[in-house]
Structure 1
Amino acid sequence: MGGADPPAFVYPYNGRGLAPVIKEHPSSITALRNDPVTLNCAASGASRITWFRDGLQVITSSQDSRSHRVLLPSGSLFFLRVASNRRETDAGTYWCVASNSYGTRRSKNATLSIAYLSYEFEAHPEPVVKAHLGDSIEIPCKPPKGSPEPDTQWIKNGLELSNSSRVYVFDKEGLIIKNVTSEDSASYVCRARNVAGTRETRPTELVILIPPSLEKKPENVTTASGSMVDLICHAQGSPKPSVTWRRLDGIMPLGRVTIEDQRLILEHVTAVDSGVYSCEVRNEAGIASAEATLTVVDRPEIMQRLQDVQVMAGKDAFLTCIVEGVPPPLILWRLPTQDRTALLTSSHKNGHVYISQDGQMMHLESVTTEDSGIYHCWGVSRGGGVSTQAEVLVVEAYPPPVIGNGLKDLNLIPGSIAVFPCEVISEYATPSIKWSFRPAAHLPARPLLDRIDGRVTLSAAGTLSVKDVRIDDTGIYTCNVSAETGNVEQVTILRVTKEATKALAVTEPLLTPPSKPQIMIVNETTVTLNCTPNSQTSHNTGQRFIIEYWRQGWDEWRMAETAMMKELCIIKNLMPGNTYFFLVRTITKKGTSFPSPWSDPVAIRSPRDPSLTVDQVRHAQHRLSRSTVTLTKATATGPNSVLLNWRFLATAHEAVEGILVYTITKDNDVQVTTVFGSFASSHHLVNIQPSTHYIFFIVPFWRSVEGTPSNSYSITTPEDTPLISPHDIHAVPRDDGSILITWSNLSLSEARGNVTGYQVNLSYNGTETTEVVSSPWLEVHGHAPSRIYAVKVAAETKAGLGPYSAPVSIDFGLIYAQGHHGNSKGIMIDSSVLYAPPQPAWLVYVLVPLVILLFVATMIYIKRLHHKSSSLDATHNTTHSQDPAVNPPHDSISMYSEQKQWHPRDCERECRQSYMHLLRADHQNSIMHKEPQSRANESPEPYATTALLAPASPHSVHESPWHRRRDKSRLKVDWTAFLPPLPASPPPCDNAFGDSTQNHKGFGIKSWFDDARSSGEYKNPCEVSSEPNSDTYSPVCAKNSLNCFLKFNSSQGKNTCKEISEDGQANHVDLPLNLSNHVQN
């Protein structure tokens, strides 16, 4: 810049014209360095405008081409860029001067300022600021220097922070937050801004210190060996607490441990991993910890997995699955049906499917195509569950043989050698190869082996060679291949002419056949094979594959329509319900290769779930193939309900759609309950049987794909009260005057537990007495014959008393009378019988003396017979005793009765069944029989009738007959017809209850098992005195009479004499019934 300072005044008018007039004065402006800017100045009548800065004239580009200042035609000053550096600066005070020949005018001053903002803050906050809850903090921030003065802002997590009741923002001092909370924990930035730019501090993290707290503590885990364990320890705190896992009682298995998101994951746990694991969370504010116990039990191990089986229809198939473990696992077989309850255990049979006794083998007898499918073998125990599966494929036929390479026609000259290879592949049957020759198509064929010139040879591989061919060898040669699976043939033509160009067949090396095709993907209409060249063959880019396939009903192999994708061969348009076989050939420019080995048979079936693709099913099977769920607890909540709890492992929720709950009893009764939802963790089973042992386990599933079973839990449900009351109540009279009441036992399903006893309720005339017994019978003493009692019986278990039976009425007098009239097997009591009328007493007065007289006469007659007879012939006794012509029926004799004379036609059927078995010859040699001895010098009074051995029944039956013999007819008399029958089950012995002569002194009810308190099986109370004893009859005498007769006494031969009144009737005292020492009024 240069020139004199412009005048500070307006020059006077000289009278010759007008001076310029300033129309627009320049304005002050602030500009950024290097930015263009314009200072405006406009004047009228001016011939020249000059700019000045700080008193010095501004050099413009018109004066210096290097200047960045340009004087515009309007008079304004334009800066191409505002300079501001050490050498020069454009900042200053500017004015413009307009002049002409008549004068000069000066504008107002204008200031050009250059804005700037420094990069460094004079005071900036720390990167991290920490504070406890409730504290007050100050975060300092002094902005950098700048022009104009910069404004200050605070940014919290990207949002501008404004003043509030707790937050104060100061421009040059910083940020103050009072009473900090967890919401104040954020990232803070101090920002300074003016027209020159914006500057920000580095983020400052405000950390509110909060002690750690455990949201989710690790839980105790019991799992099977080999499974994965996930111990969760989620903690909250600020700053985020760090988690440290420790094992308190052993070494942490570092090679199998992973810590992810505060979780401890142990893979493939073993028994040595059992122990206590501690989770410790820590931050600057504090420490928290928790412990969990891991218990690892041995999981069942599959020692032999199932193998796929291919079997011909009608044959037997066997599957072997060996699973071992401690405790021994329960082995279950799942059949390939939609029924999820189709589970078989050891020694079980379902149709033609048998399971071995140890459960490790399944036998399918005479299989059909319906038996084809996937069979599963499950092993479950407390330690875990394992699963293996295999496919049983039942084929009705196998493919026929296939010829390796097709035969080629030959043109040879005479004397050459003709070679026809006919190599055959037959994998399921042994082929037989025969060659035949026809000179022409219309001529019959003849076997080539018939030729005897020795020029024809047939190798073991089926190749036919003809040496020194002649013109008459020209013709059709046929290779016939036959096997059990089918027949195939190929034809070739040999032409022998002198004009032929080849002297012999040139054999080129055959192409190596491809490898056996592997089945990759199977769906309802398509099969994908992995077609790979032979490993000895170089990969030739010019080779391709052709597929041949066969199914039942086809006579030969056919060419398949194939789509190729690299080494994948896709065969389409297959028919569901068929089984296919595939083979592969390689084709190159040299020809076709020998066929590959046949593929495994492939069954094309309709999918179980058409909505799923093959990839979806495969992916689901892979996810569910490992253990995904553990049954943690099984609790009986009642006799008919059980609560099951389970836990998913890791992230198994994504692979599970629901849970199948299996319930199995020892009778192989299987029940399945479906629980939908991947987040369910428990299920309440109801309607199960009380006092029953159950095995529970669960199986995860996704759609139609089922996973590996979990570990099992065994539990026996509590007992319940009996479902029904005892039935079949019978009353049996005893010789001591008591009545024996019996009833049937309850089955386990009816009792719903173990029966601990019975309550018997007897009532008469409004008075009730209840007796508790442990055996299914009760003996009643001291009854009144003229009274009718009502009886009810109820069974009892640990859970309580069951329902009483319907009241039944018992007329003790009627029962006692009927028992002595021959019906000693017992009277079945019907609840519909409410009253039985008394029988006439005069009939007893008439019949009893007659029976006594007849009995005395018979004894005298027998005594005489014994004096005459020497011994009894055992071989004739049976025959004569059963002959009615020789031994007339004794049951026509009048017995004790109050109504009429007893005759066989009155109870023909009952009596025949009751007594005819006593006449069998085999009874004569039993322990119930004692052979009578001839006693010439003894009177018949003390003669013993039989040896009595009480059988296991509460009914009195005597089966030992007496025999008599005549000199001529050898007659015998069977006195068992006159005696009460032996009991069918053991009644209580009379001597166990006291002497029979004392039964009328006290009246009561007593059971043989009352003192024993037995709840087990029924025992013979007379076992202690079961030896034969001939003193089983005692004389009963009439009052003031010397004539006595024998009366049966169940007390084993006690010689007592009961008084008989003059009218022939025994004296009885009519007293009320006394039950368990309670006297009834």
Structure 2
Amino acid sequence: MLLFKSNDPDHIEHVCSGENRSSQTFNQSPPRIVKQPPSDELLFQVYTRLETINEKPFVIECEAEGEPAPKYQWVKNGKRFNWQAYDDRISQQPGRGTLVISSPRDEDLGQYQCFASNEWGTATSNSVFVRKAELNAFKDQSPLSVQAQEGEPFKLTCNPPDGWPKPNVYWLIQRSDGGIESINNSRMTVDPEGNLWFSNVTKRDATNDFAYACAATSLFRSEYKIGNRVLLNVVASGVSASQNRHPPVKQYVTRKNEVAIRGSKVQLFCIYGGTPLPHTVWSYNGKPLQLSERVSQEHFGKSLLLKHVEFSDKGTYTCEVSNGQGQVQSYSITLNVLAAPYFTVEPEIVNAAEDETAELVCEASGDPEPQIKWIHNGLPISEAPLNPRRKVTPNKIVIEKLTKKDTGNYGCNATNSIGYVYKDVYINVLAVPPEIIEPPTNKEVVDGKTVIMTCRVFGAPKPEVKWVRNRVELTGGRYTILPQGDLEIKEINFLDAGVYDCHAANKLGSQSRSATLQVKGKFRVFSYQFGQSFVIKVVALNEKGESNVAAKEVYGYSGEDVPTESPTNFTLVQVLSSTGASLRWNPVSQESVRGHFEGYKIQTWTDKDTEGKMREIIINGRSTFVSAEDKFIPNSKNFARVLVFNSRYNGPPSETINFDTPEGVPGTVQSLEAVPLGSSGLLLMWKKPEQTNGILTGYKIYYQTVKGTKVGPLLERQPSVTDPKQTRVKLAGLEPATKYRIHIKATTAAGEGEGYFIEHRTRGSVSVRPDPPSFHLVHLDSDNGYAQVKVVWLPYTEGKPGSHFFVKYRVKGEPTFMQTLETMDTDYVIVKGLEPSQVYEFQVASVDGEFVTESAPQEVQMYSVGKGSLQFNCVEEYSPPSYRSDNSSIFPDGPTIDRVESVATAGWFIGMLLAIVFLLLVLILVCIIKRNRGGKYAVHEREAAHGRHDYPEDAGFHEYSQPLDSKSHGRSSLGSDPKAAAESDTDSMAEYGEGDTGRFTEDGSFIGQYGPGNEKKKVEEQPTLSSVATYV
């Protein structure tokens, strides 16, 4: 209140009163932090005694609201902090918890946290690390003299002093008279470690009347230190400048795998030297880099600065360096973006009544994924008193049937390895009758529009809001009561005009407010020409006349309609890439647009799709030429047409054209899985990309270690996968108990596609017994008449697969197995030198350390099917243990084994049995014929003709009695004179035989002819012509 020209009557008591109708004051409220220190660190300075006049105080913020007013307590390094013990050097602001340190000391360093409490709960602030900022001096040393060769790259090393925060380092030119100059030269670049790089040295760089000096600055302390002075002597090259040339050489580059934090900045360096000065060009994921206010080049193109890093900045940044000498040099940096936690859904304050349900929701994101922990009245909620009505999950707290005891402070803390984010709220259990804190107001609205009648209410329990007009409650249809109590009416008409009442009620009472709604007709303009603009001016009028206030002019346009003309001469200018093309067409006339001209649309689809799946390319403005990148489908026949559009309608399309695009790089694989194989290997399994964008030629696999937030160098698995049908491979030679990031990229003739990666940890070095494996055999062409097969190991991925394997095989029936070498790096082995027409038994053994588990044996018979080709059949049925359903994808040509149901039903076996039966029948028939041809002849007469007589005293068979003497008589043919022959102890038919005395028995049959001894004798004793007799 201001009083001017005060006099005696003004000498009275003046009373000022105020009223706030927009908020509520409660007689209870748990505390809640409204000001707090940062979540990472707070810096302070400590001055020497000579500088005490310039001491810089600092504050640690802490302020909370609550009813009654909260009291504050500080904790330092986990213990209660009694700031009053520090005399006048530390104080607390009145009514707040903020600490003011007027004279900082080294002892002030530590971890601080503020707690604000009243009878309803305790609120907790961020925990902040208070740290001393300092910058030490350079080591005192004389200037260092160095020598450089003219025209060659060179480096000056700086050893900056320690400091916190890490000081910024740069180089200066310090004149002999004490003057200082900054270095701003495209040939000289300072790397992040403080070294000065000369792209090439010239005679002007020699220190004639100056020295190079290294400087370190601390922005927080607003000071800098100089040291590390260097005197440079340049040795002349002895050749002309045109001859003194050097190709680009790498000097300093950012590591290949760099990590940035979301929201911060990152700088990528690519410093190369050479003569003439190299030129640097940057690209991102293989495409020219688009510069902006957020992405810029520094150090004359030798570094790339990204401000406010986002997840979309992930990718590969490549610098290509050239100077016309030698080959173009390139270097790639893979940038990964991590993020400190940030809230996606923040918890909110809850004011509720008894017996209601309160819900607090907290969701956060980050990379790595943050963990969420709840705090209740300054302690972890796990340490809070048990409450069976309270249900706690990582993202939510739900308390049913509230009571006064549930009043308190609740905080959500999301933490990962990068940092944390914290917010506290409270649940306040109240009993408040309804109050309309923002009543409805009178409104005017135009026919056909939507209107919202305001009615904001508060109460505990939460009041129920009803809207009434003409004693009828308004619900459903065009009426919607919004969550805060407002009434929304859609498509207003003249019948909606009238008085609207808002009623709010709970068990403690009720309150009502009213407002009037007026509905006005739409202003219409008639007799206008199409496409013609007009001006509308609204003037207020009453019984006194028109208002003389200048009215605001509004420009209006007539309604729009469908354009009538389609663009003509739509043609393909050029196919730019696998996804890009240049197109041109003739413009349409302005009159045919019939509305606001917005631009053109190109509609495109492929022969594999329908027009229903077309995509649209929007060309704003009047341009009739476009170079569309990343808009078409690679390796396809693309169809396209163009049309004009206004603010409401599309026009008729042009004629459709088509063109073919070349192959492009493929998309990402659909999935990638890893299964540990022992302690040093992983079995990788993937699904091929949905978008191949061409003909797949294989896959590239890369891997790198992951230790915390740092990743190791990116290594490529050798050999790369050159079979596009293969979807499994073993990654061997890894470190035990180590986390790896595995990348896979599909390839086409156009190059590598977009990468897909997972992270997986190898097993520890403790061996376990593997589960029985299964295996497949794949047919291979014969090698010099010998069979060879590819045995593919299928480890039991659902259990303990083992680390590697070997194959055992043998010819069926042999006592011992042959064994291949243990295969460490692949999941297959080729077994060579197998005999055709042999049955082999195969087994695969999984190995893990000293443990070996063998599969069930599998019999395979091999036989020749043609020159240079062999096939094989499984002799017995084999059912391997279960394995992943996609294991067959490792076989490019599919299994080539024909399994036989049973030996008894095999065709070759039945045929062999029939042949044996047939041969036996023939043999029996021959025997019968031979026997019949031998007949019955007078043995006695023939014996007598040779001089043998009967011996009645001998009871045996006369014709087989012993010979009378041992003298031999020569044998003769049937046509010669008989001669006395030596007797034999063989049968008497020898004289009529064919040289073999054991061929006939007493009755002249063939018994014994096929015995083993006779067979041998048959081979060894060939008959002569003189010993052959014919039986007539």
Q: TM-score range by the shorter chain?
A: under 0.3
Structure having the larger proportion of residues in strand = 2
Larger Rg: 1
State the TM-score, normalized to the length of structure 2. Answer: 0.23
